[in-house]
A = this chain, B = another copy of it.
Amino acid sequence: MGQSGKTIILCCTMDTKSCEALYLKEQVEAFGHEVRIIDMGMKKPSPPGVFITQAQVAGLYYEQIVSSNIRSEAAAYMIKGLKSIVRQLYADGQLDGIMAIGGSGGTTMASAAMHELPLGVPKIVVTTMASGNTLPYVQGEDVLLLNPVVDIQNLNFLTEYILRQAAAVMNGMICCRPLERGKKKAIAITCFGVTTPCVDRCAGLLQEEGYEVLIFHARGSSGGKIMEKMIAEGHFCAVLDVTTTELADEVAGGIYSVGPRRLREAPAHGIPYIVVPGALEMINLGSEDTLQPAQKARTLYYHSPSSVKMRANGAEMKELGEIFIQRLQHSRPGMTKVIIPARGFSSVDMPGKVFSDPDANQIFINEVKYKMPSNVPVMIQDSHVNDRAFADVLVRELLRMMPKTQY
């Protein structure tokens, strides 16, 4: 069963989980694959038979790691080494899939390294962290966490069963037809509840034109962050970035901030890119009891008990304009376009609604309109983001930007 010749990298702490790691290796190899162990352990030198030793992972930082009494500090060094080794193995064609066995420390290290790999490379961690908050480990990506039910502290009927399952899961995933673009060209769109009418209409029109549409909810790791990663991996022929609210969080301390990579990958890869300030006026916070006093004094919208939204003010809108310019200004001429719906950026930003504030929006508009270099055209539309006509403009403009040789 299974096709042979695949190389699976297994990350584990050989100082504490060597029996379990060797059992898992044996199970995966029974499917005809080769398993190579990377030792992430920090307490003891690696035993023989390890493909990449603890000392090799530690590299230049070996002395610091061995002498550090602060576990998280030593782990940070190990993560650095692990990431670069995993990247290198993949680049050299020596990694077809990656697995790990870990407690909270091991899972943190292994999952950080897994995020260095493209989508579609099978990634499995056997960890009790699977039952709890997985966001730090999964971060919206295709990292599969398999709950061993009990802590992996020894081999017994249950841990052996779970490790057999993990091996079978890896074999299944790695023998499966890999991730590839379909025959249709694919377009990414960013979405939020408050921009859904716009997104739905755009998606429908683009599908009618023969495109596949992938919709990313702009909620941080599993939204804009993974979309930017997929753009960089070449999965899309164009991006319709209708919902850029994550930038508001970056500017004003919201929960969906994804950092400075946002907006950058499409310009960097030279694909047609339309950027819209959809929900850009909206700073996403947590539940009411997590708000700072200064935040409580601002204009708020109670979306749900766990989700309070804060209206971006003029100063923040100005800063958002600056970010648009900074990150888009080096686009290839004609490949990036900013299209602004002057009558409101979300379903709660229109006359009579809680976030209506045309003056603040105008500060953003002026910033972008007058300061964006001419290689990035800025179109101001006299419509609301959720108007049918606005979606029609977005799709028309995007199709115009497509290379003529597309089909």
**Interface, chain A (partner B; CB < 8 A):** 1-2, 119-120, 122, 128, 130-135, 138-147, 149-151, 153-154, 156-158, 160-162, 164-165, 167-173, 175-182, 186, 212-217, 221-222, 226, 235
Contact = CB atoms under 8 A, between A and B. Distances in A.
What are the 3 tightest A-B residue pairs by CB atom distance, in nearest-first order? A172-B172, A168-B172, A157-B182
Given A132-B222, A142-B147, 10 more contacts: A1-B175, A120-B161, A134-B145, A140-B147, A140-B149, A144-B144, A145-B145, A149-B222, A156-B182, A157-B180
Nearest to A128: B222
Contacts of A222: 128, 131-132, 147, 149
B156 A186 contact: yes
Nearest to A136: B131
B173 A214 contact: no
A171 B217 CA distance: 30
A397 to B, nearest CB: 22
Contacts of A120: 161
A226 B154 contact: no
23 contacts: A128-B140, A130-B145, A131-B139, A141-B149, A142-B147, A143-B147, A144-B169, A150-B226, A156-B186, A156-B212, A156-B213, A156-B214, A157-B182, A158-B214, A158-B235, A161-B178, A161-B180, A164-B177, A165-B176, A168-B173, A169-B169, A169-B172, A169-B173
A139 B128 CA distance: 11
A376 to B, nearest CB: 27
A161 B179 contact: yes
Nearest to A164: B176
A158 B140 contact: no
A167 B177 CA distance: 11
B169 A157 contact: no
Contact of A160 (B170, B171, B182): B182
B150 A215 contact: yes
A142 B149 CA distance: 6
Contacts of A1: 1-2, 175
Tell which of A165, A178, A216 has the most Cβ of chain B within 10 Å: A165
A172 B186 CA distance: 30
B158 A165 contact: no
A173 B179 contact: no
Contacts of A177: 161, 164
A182 B156 CA distance: 7
